[in-house]
Each structure stands twice: as C-alpha cells, then as structure tokens.
A and B are shown apart, each in its own frame.
Chain A
Amino acid sequence: MQIEILKKSYAEVHFIVRGVSPRFMNSLRRAMMADVPVMAVDDVYIVENTSVMYDEVLAHRLGLIPLKTDLDYYVLPEECGCGSETGCHKCSAVLVLNVEGRENGVTVVYSKDLKPHEANPEVKPVNEKIPIVKLAPGQRIKLEAYARLGKAIKHAKWSPVVRCTYKYYPVILIVDSKCTGCGLCIDVCHKNVFTLKSGKAYVVNQLECDLCDECVDRCAQNALNVDFDKNSLIFFLETTGSLPAWKVLSEACRILKLKSEAFLKQLNELGVV
C-alpha cells in the first residue's frame, strides 16, 4: 500500500492510495461516516420560546450545528457509568441560549449566541455565523441544550464527515498517430481534462477525470481510451469542522482495528482459530 497526499488542511484531506482494494477503502469510509463519534446537541430544555419557530424545529436546528469535539475527554453516554438521565461531566456538555429581540428591527440569533456552560468552555459551535432563528422586538428564547457524543448510525447530525468518497484512479490513453487534433474531446469534457498541444490532444488534468467516457464516444478517430486502475483509489475526505480530517481518519482506523480484534477474540474463544 502506498499513499500520496494531494491536499491537506484542517477540515480536508485528499489522497491517492495505491495497491488497495475498494472493499478495504469502503469499510474505512463507512467507519468514518457512521462509527466516529462527535458532539451534537441531543436534548433541549426550552424554558421560553415566543419566536415564530416551533420548539421542535428550533431543537432540530440546534442539533445540526456542529460542535467542537474532544474525543480524548468525552465518552459515549451508553459507555459512561454515571447512570444519570442528563449525563455527567464526562458524557454531556451544557450550552445555553438566552436572547431577547431588540426594541427596533429584527434580531438574528446566531450560533455564537449558543454559549457553552463555564464547566465545558471548549464545547462550542464550530462556526459562529450560522443563523438559528430571527426574533421580532420582544420575542424571547431561553433554553438549555445538552450536547452528547453520538454516532451517525443513530442520526446524521453525529456524522463527522461531509464528503467522504473515493473514485478509481483514471488512466487516459491517447494514440498520437490517430489523433487529428479536432478538439472534440476538449469541448465535450466538463472537467477540462484535455488541452491541445502542437495539434494533438494532451492530458493535463488526469485526476479530475470522472470516467464518463463522453470523449471516447465522441472521438471519430478512436484515438482515445479511458480506463481505470482497479487497485488505485483517489479518496476525498471533508469534515464538518467538529474534528480535524486527520483525526477522523485515524479514529476510523482505530475503531476498525478494535472491531476486528473483538471478532478475532470471539473466534478464539469458540476454538475456530
């Protein structure tokens, strides 16, 4: 297995993996999407809500706001031994929203108004500028939100990833002796894979190709062939910002490993292996 990083930032990692089967990468992809826990608002205690938005819609919107997650400190509620309904400091974090509409004009309630309780200052919205609701003068919202770790198997709000996909590594061949430089493939390609170089088609953005075969169908000279490398994949990972992309990757690998080990242990106990 050989990995080549194409792009790396806090919320994004793009890489090429060579010498790996799609089956393996798919299990990793699914672990990233549904098994890596993140923080999200789970229970909301609404003290007052005179806005035009129903309580349940408001609670739903709060749930969708991604929160900064510390996986080293917090544990999943079902794995916490506290037995408390609202949770203890290890399995839940409290956020407070208390806003009243200004006397003149419309007041926009932003995610930055969702303030973390002083006991858990680090659990705060990833983005400060998400509008939650708008208030007319005199309207008021007062609530307490309980954030917990959770997995996206239960609800999509707990998914750490936004884009988590892979595609085959494209291999494009141009037979120079057949190519007349008509430019049809350049016109038809929506990913701008080709360019014209000294009267012949030439591949410039090979990785952008999404194997649609439109250029192959249009080429009257049969000078083109688009294929893919079965054992090389290009992986695109983008997170919501609640966890850095590298952390999602490493956590998914760790969870897959734990699962395999638990499986092997059972097989051992049953005397199969």
Chain B
Amino acid sequence: MGIVPIRCFTCGSIIGDKWEEFKRRVDAGENPGKVLDDLGVKRYCCRSMLISHVEIIDDLLKYFMVGRSISNE
C-alpha cells in the first residue's frame, strides 16, 4: 500500500518508527548513512529497507482529496 513497512523483511526489527525522522533529516541534506547510524539501524537488511523506501500512500491520498473537492462543488 506504499506506506513504510513496520518491520524489516529480513530480520523483523522495527523500522517503521524511524522512517519519519530518516526522511526529514535526509531531505534536509544529511548523509543517509549517518542518519541511519544515529537512529541505531545497524544491519544492512534494515538499512536497505529505509534507504529504498518510497512513500506512495501520500500520492494516493491526493487523488482522494481531489475527488472529494470535486464532489463538494
């Protein structure tokens, strides 16, 4: 569904809670590897989960909101 996975697919550790901080800090220009170190994401299975994630649900919600404003008119 395009939202960040709750757990790492490989080892099962919780990574969902780290996504928002990871995204915010990387967008602000920090080095992704350093942010992951700070967040305590040690194994490369978990690191790849966050690095390769694309949050598609935000785009899906835009369609819903446009549809809603049209039906309100």
Contact of B57 among A128, A134, A238 (CB under 8 A): A134
Residues B14 and A66 in contact, CB atoms below 8 Å apart: yes
Residues of B within 8 A of A64 (CB): 6-7
By size class, the interface of chain B is 20 to 34
Residues A52 and B1 in contact, CB atoms below 8 Å apart: yes
Residues A133 and B12 in contact, CB atoms below 8 Å apart: no
Give, as a whole number of angstroms, the nearest-CB distance from B10 to chain A: 10
Q: Could you tell me which residues of chain B, from 37 to 64, have a CB within 8 Å of some CB in chain A?
A: 43, 57-58, 60-61, 64
Residues of A within 8 A of B64 (CB): 52, 136, 139
Contact of A106 among B6, B14, B16, B58 (CB under 8 A): B58
How many pairs, one residue from A and one from B, have CB atoms within 8 Å of each other in the complex? Answer: 65
Residues B14 and A241 in contact, CB atoms below 8 Å apart: yes
Residues of A within 8 A of B16 (CB): 130-131
Residues of B within 8 A of A134 (CB): 3, 57-58, 61
Task: Report the separation of the CA atoms of residues A61 and B1 in the bound assembly, to the nearest whole angstrom.
Answer: 11
| A131 touching B3 in the complex, CB below 8 Å, given contacts A66-B14, A162-B12, A238-B13 | yes
- Cross-chain pairs A/B with CB under 8 angstroms, 20 sampled: A52-B1, A53-B1, A53-B57, A54-B1, A57-B1, A64-B7, A65-B6, A106-B58, A130-B14, A131-B19, A134-B3, A134-B58, A134-B61, A136-B65, A138-B68, A156-B12, A163-B43, A240-B12, A240-B13, A241-B14
